[in-house]
Each structure stands twice: as structure tokens, then as C-alpha cells.
Structure 1
């Protein structure tokens, strides 16, 4: 994470929330108590902000300043409402194309994926509130500013987002080496959401069980896998090719 988006101190975070800043990640020290911490927790719950209770050692690693038991990262963007975005895209009359990122953790990969998604006409990117890469200054830089041009939605659970997409008539396809079919044998001309996994583990098994289809990229070298941002680009441009 980039320190330019970091704020620390309970009062500073309270004021940021009151000023309607978008809190991307919030870390609160385990066992924190006092009137200010109570006020912070009330605001956090009122605004539905995702937070993590962590030991003080975690906070001390994030900053050497007097953090008072609370550190937050301010997002440079505002996130879109997921269900509202899906409805708007469907009602627009164009063929929907969404990208779902399951626990992607590297901010530079995230930025590169956002850049390619914007170039290929993706209607929105869906990420999970907990566990995924934040929209940091590095993300903004790597995306070449595309992060400001494409809707990004945060959801509580990727699985619930998949159910909603399927219920909206959108075919959900997992990009995984476990698939028997390649992307080139997969129909991408219909309303589609492509699921990409994390750098190390790929797509979680619980998510793989829910998707409509699985597809892989043919691999002829010895490495056996591509960087997730490169793989995303190949998948998205195959959508462009089929729909052109």
C-alpha cells in the first residue's frame, strides 16, 4: 500500500468518515477502548465500513507514527453499487461484460487489469471487500488513470455476486487451468462475467463450484501459468474478437 493514502489516529479517521471519504481498508487495534474508539466503531457500523481487528504489531509495521490504535487507507475512487450497476448495464441494451476478481492481492496486477478492462469495454469490475488488493496510489499509477474511467464495485462475498449475475441472465465463466475447454472453444458473445483468481491460489474451489463454465488458456511452455494480468488481457481480448 502507498503511504500517501494512509491516515492514522482515531480522531483523524472519524473526521475522514464524517467528510464522506471512501475508506478502503481500516485496521483497529485489538482491545482498543475509550470514548473516541466507541465513537469510531459507531460510525464504522453506521456506514457499513469493513474493518479488521489486529494486534498492535500489525499497526506498528504499517507506520512508526503514533497511530493511537487505528489506521485507515483512503481510496482515491468512489465505489459503485453492484446491483444498481448490473441493472443499468442490462437496461442500456448493450451485451454485458463484467470482470470478477477473486482475492487478487497485488496492487500492480490490479492496476494492469483495470487498464486492460477499460480498453476492452468491460462494464464493471467486482471485487470483495475483504482480502483483495486495495485501490492504492500504485493501482492508480499502473492503471494509467483507467481506474477513474471504469466502475469498480465492492461486495461482501464473491459468491453472492455470482448468484446475482446468474439471476440477471449473465453467464459466469471461470478462468482456470482446471478446465477441459479452452477459451477459444467458449462462446463469449452472450452476456458474460469472467472470474479471475488470485496470483498464488487461483480461483477458490467454492467459487469454481458455482460458475456456469470453466475455460483455460492453452499452454505450450514449461512454466504452466501466466501472470494474472496477462491472462486477463488474453481472455478479454478474446471477448472483443468474438464480438467484433
Structure 2
């Protein structure tokens, strides 16, 4: 069965996948081991659809109906391929600016980032198929509807996306505290992609090894880090300041 945001029931989810419905994430009841559930898990793995095993209480909150141990959230947007995202951006400008989000999992943070990306003219956002926040009602509300205006690409692996962008003459800049360079030291006047890391772990160390530059924001006081959406805004507005100069 289905409502405006969710599909619930194992068979209904399998049918939706077969019908190529844009599913953002699937929540599966922990310790569920029926043959039909195993079929669903195998299908999700094959189609590289993100899923989490959650307690029964979580599923009950997602839907009032008979969920049969599985609920899928429907994305209100269609995701692009990375190749299409880059191609469309280059059709409008020779100097695109992208955001790469490395496992940012909070829907409200994601929405706030999308809103700022829209305000700063970002040409697209790149997220991973696994570990990323769902595009749900909270995302739409926090983005103030910007989620419908900023193109978003889902990729199998963030590292492969970085290699692709680098081969297309983009510089990839990681926002990280593990550097001495400040954001003001980076030249954002060229085609660029800025990576923001997850709320708790930051950017994956293996990703940091392959970027073109790292940069941080100057911090004063006793608190050592900013909320990721706030930090993202600071990086984007520095990029825009340079491009307006």
C-alpha cells in the first residue's frame, strides 16, 4: 500500500521497485527472516537501494497501516546520474559549482544545505546511494521547497564521483578540520566541488586522500565545530564572494 510519502508492505515495495518507482530508502524490521523479506533484501542489494534494519516502533511511527515489517520512503524528486548532472551544468556555465555530501544522514541538515545551495547558485548536489539522508517531508520543509529546484545526483561511490569530476577538470575541495589551510586560501573561481562530511565522523579518511585541496573555517571560543549546514553555508558564500569579485 502507499500514501503520499511511503509504501508499506513487502510485496508492495517489491512491486514498486519492479515498476521503477523512485524509492529513497527502505526500513526493515529487525530480526525479520521470512523468505519474502529475504527476497526484498536481495532485491535492495541488487538495485543498490539504501535500507536500514530498525525496531518495530520505528516502523509503527512511519505508517499507521499494516506495514508487514517493511516501509519504503518515496523520493519526491527524480535523481540524476552524475554524468547527466555535469552535462546539464556545463550547458549553462563554464564554471559550475557542486556540493558533495559524504554520508550526511540528518534530513533536516540535508534540507538546510539544499536551501543554502539554492540561494548560492550551486549547480548540483551529489550524494551516495547508501548512508545519505532520505529526501522526505522533513527535507522538503527544511529546504523551503528548494529540493525541487536544485538537481541532485545519487552515486554508488563518492570516491568514483570524485575521480569523474577530477577527470572533467573540476577541483575537489574537502571541508575538514584536519588541515592548516583556511577556506579563504582556496581559489573557488574555477570549476569546483566542495565536500561536506557527516555530522559525527566528518569526511571519510579514504576520501580525504584523493581530494585536490582541504580547507577549514577559522574557529574561536570553546566549541570546536559548527553544525554541518552552517559550515556548508560559510564555504559556499566564500566561493560566491570570490566569483563576484
Q: Is TM > 0.5 for Structure 1 vs Structure 2?
A: yes
**How far apart are the structure 2 equivalents of 1:123 and 1:88?**
9
Tell whether the 8 Å contact from 1:102 to 1:196 is kept in structure 2 after alignment: yes
What is the correspondence of 1:44-63 to structure 2 with a 5 Å cutoff? Answer: 48-52=47-51, 54=53, 58=54, 60-63=56-59
**How far apart are the structure 1 equivalents of 2:135 and 2:153?**
11
TM-score, reference length from structure 1 = 0.88
3-state SS of 2:203 partner: coil
Matching residue of 2:194? 194
- Post-superposition Cα deviations, 1:6-48, rounded to whole Å, max 9, x if no partner, equal 32112322343355421111245653315x974x5786577x2
What is the correspondence of 1:37-116 to structure 2 with a 5 Å cutoff? Answer: 38=39, 48-52=47-51, 54=53, 58=54, 60-64=56-60, 65-116=65-116
CA RMSD of aligned residues (A): 2.2
Tell whether the 8 Å contact from 1:10 to 1:37 is kept in structure 2 after alignment: no
- Post-superposition Cα deviations, 1:199-226, rounded to whole Å, max 9, x if no partner, equal 1111111111110000111111210111
Matching residue of 1:229? 229
Matching residue of 1:6? 6
**How far apart are the structure 2 equivalents of 1:106 and 1:52?**
15
- Post-superposition Cα deviations, 1:145-168, rounded to whole Å, max 9, x if no partner, equal 000001011111111111111111
**How far apart are the structure 1 equivalents of 2:105 and 2:44?**
24
Tell whether the 8 Å contact from 2:125 to 2:152 is kept in structure 1 after alignment: yes
The gaps in structure 2 that reach 5 residues or longer are none
**How far apart are the structure 1 equivalents of 2:181 and 2:50?**
39
Tell whether the 8 Å contact from 1:107 to 1:139 is kept in structure 2 after alignment: yes
Count of matched residue positions in the alignment of Structure 1 and Structure 2: 236
Matching residue of 1:138? 138
3-state SS of 1:196 partner: strand
**How far apart are the structure 1 equivalents of 2:130 and 2:42?**
20
3-state SS of 1:72 partner: strand
Deviates more, 1:3-12 or 1:155-164: 3-12
**How far apart are the structure 1 equivalents of 2:28 and 2:59?**
13
TM-score, reference length from structure 2 = 0.88
The gaps in structure 1 that reach 5 residues or longer are none
